[in-house]
Chain A
Amino acid sequence: MRKYKSIRAFRDQISFLIDRKAFKYHVLFFFFLGLVFLLSAGMGEQSFSPWKTFNILLGNGSNFESMVVESFRMPRILISILVGIGLAVAGAIMQAILRNPLASPDVTGITGGASVAVVLFLAIFSNESNALTVSVHWMPLAAFIGATIVAICLYLLSWKNGLSPFRLVLVGIGLWALTKALTNLFMILGPIHQAAQANVWITGSVYGANWSNVQILAPITVLLLLITLIMTRHLNIQELGEDIALGVGARIERQRLGLLILCTAFIGSAVAFAGGVGFVGLMAPHIARKLVGSSFGNLLPLSAMIGAILVLLADTIGRTVFLPIEVPAGVFTAVIGAPYFIYLLYRQRNA
């Protein structure tokens, strides 16, 4: 048992094993995330050193400094992190259900479904002066419904004497194209200035995030993460494949449906606030799997952290390197993600 360390508490009523290697990676990536967090909070037109930023966050900065860091940058950073977590966990769940490393929420059109729903939501519930007529709280729900509809379509359309991963991916690519066309269509339907905004949003950007967004997204993400934690053991069983899962007594269809809904909930909430930040759901679980293996107890938290780091880094680079223009985070994740996808394809060439 040298690979694991056992922890017992409450007179052995609670006991579990900790994978030493995975634990090391978790700590490492946690510090890495913290570092990126400090760097990101310190960078911009007003730059502070990480140490200074740390002090400002503790409340030892001037009014101006704490305003820059806490009111302007912090919401954006938190949204990036939450979105990264949501997309990465959704990607990990998706890969477990479909048992295909190439299946990510973007390529299968689920992210696209959420985008269509949000654009439609904006088009329907906007008045002349481009203000929303209903509370923005409903937007994640709309995105969730859009993502769920596409996920159900994907599931039904790929069903033909069972579910072949390849058919799933092909049908997914088709749905992807369809959602792109629909998004464009609804953008034309909406007011023009809104369409210009929507375009940046579809590329995936956390531009314009504020504290009220964080207040909506944070509780949703935490709640979903808790549910995921409870469902983790189902995920492990799903990955064994249909026959074995049935053999060990799992109600796989019901669990699969539950997991799929969980996945769309993550995507819906992430897309509602950041648009289609692409390929995070593909890359993060993959990198995590390389490091700690396929047990979801280890895989999920690590992919969540990697996802958060990816989105946060992409956004930080996007808003600092090319000043005065801002490049949406989605451009960066796609520029790294698409070659990564190609690399995976190359790796799988004999599969």
Chain B
Amino acid sequence: MLSWSSTESGLTADLSAVVSGGSDGGLPFGREIIGFVDAIGGKDDQQLSEARQRLVEAAGEAFMVDTAAVVANFEMMTRVADGTGARFPAARAAQRAQLDAQLGIGGFTSAR
């Protein structure tokens, strides 16, 4: 979805930002978005507060709120997928092999 939408937007997204963070992914405010998401995924509320503030200062409160909503959506969808054993059809799984390797996700327990 990131590759598709960035290509359609005339951008070149760097998928390595999804894997390891630490960059802007080739997108405006990408570094602040990654920092915010990483802090949400962590347990340190002070770090989260600081990352939230950096995103607000860079992109505004409404942008931060909508980023939080997107993250909340995928806190939901990952639980639905993992809780119901969602998997790709065999043909689609074969097509994804290269992407899975690029993202380093083939070894996840949830890889079915």
A and B held together in a complex = no
Residues of B bordering A, CB below 8 Å: none
Residues of A bordering B, CB below 8 Å: none
